[in-house]
Amino acid sequence: MRKGACMKITRVTTPPTHISFYDNWDGPGAEDIEDKLSPQHVEDVVEIFQTPLTGHYNWDYASADGRIRKLYKLGKELNWNADMDLDWSQSFARSNLPLDEAFNPFNGWEPFEALSEDEKLRFGWHNLAWMLAQFMHGEQGALLVASQLASCAPTYDAKLYAASQTFDEARHVEAFTRYLQEKVGILYPVNPNLKTLLDKILSDPRWDLKFIGMQIIIEGLALAAFNTLKMTAKDPLLKQLIHLVIRDEARHVTFGVNYLEDFVKSLSDEEREDRAHFAYEACVVMRERLISTEVFEHFGWDVEAAREQVLSSAIMGQFRNLLFTRIMPNLKRIGLLTDSVRPRFESLGLLQFENLVDDGEVDWAELSRPLYE
pLDDT in tens, 209-241: 999 999 999 998 888 889 989 999 999 999 999
Taking the CB of residue 222, how many other CB atoms lie within 10 A of it?
25
Element spanning 321, H or E = helix 314-324
Q: Calculate the dihedral angle through the C-alpha atoms of 345, 229, 189, 142, rounding to the nearest 10 degrees.
A: 70
From the options 1.10.620.20, 3.40.50.80, 1.10.10.10, 3.30.70.1150, give the CATH code of 49-367: 1.10.620.20
Q: Where are the domains of the chain?
A: 49-367
The partner residues of 44 in beta bridges, in order of sequence, read: 9
Strand, coil or helix: what is 99? strand
Q: Give the per-residue pLDDT at 28.
A: 41
Element spanning 343, H or E = helix 342-347
Residue type, 214: M
Read off the pLDDT of residues 341-371 as tens digits, 9 standing for 90 and up. 999 999 988 999 999 999 888 888 888 988 7
Average pLDDT, the chain: 89
Runs of H (alpha helix) within 97-155: 110-113, 117-152
Distance, CA of 132 to CA of 194 (rounded, Å): 13
Query: By the 8 A CB rule, do 159 and 150 touch?
Result: yes
Residue type, 285: V
Read off the pLDDT of residues 242-290 as tens digits, 9 standing for 90 and up. 999 999 999 999 999 999 998 999 999 999 999 999 999 999 888 777 7
pTM metric for this prediction: 0.91
Buried residues in 339-372 as b, exposed as e (16+ CB within 10 A): eebeebbeeeebbebbeeebbbebeeeebeeeee
Residue 233 DSSP class:
B
% of the chain exceeding 90 in pLDDT? 66
Out of 64-68, 175-179, 332-336, pick the least confident: 64-68
Q: How far apart are the first and last CA of the chain?
A: 41
Q: Give the per-residue pLDDT at 26.
A: 61
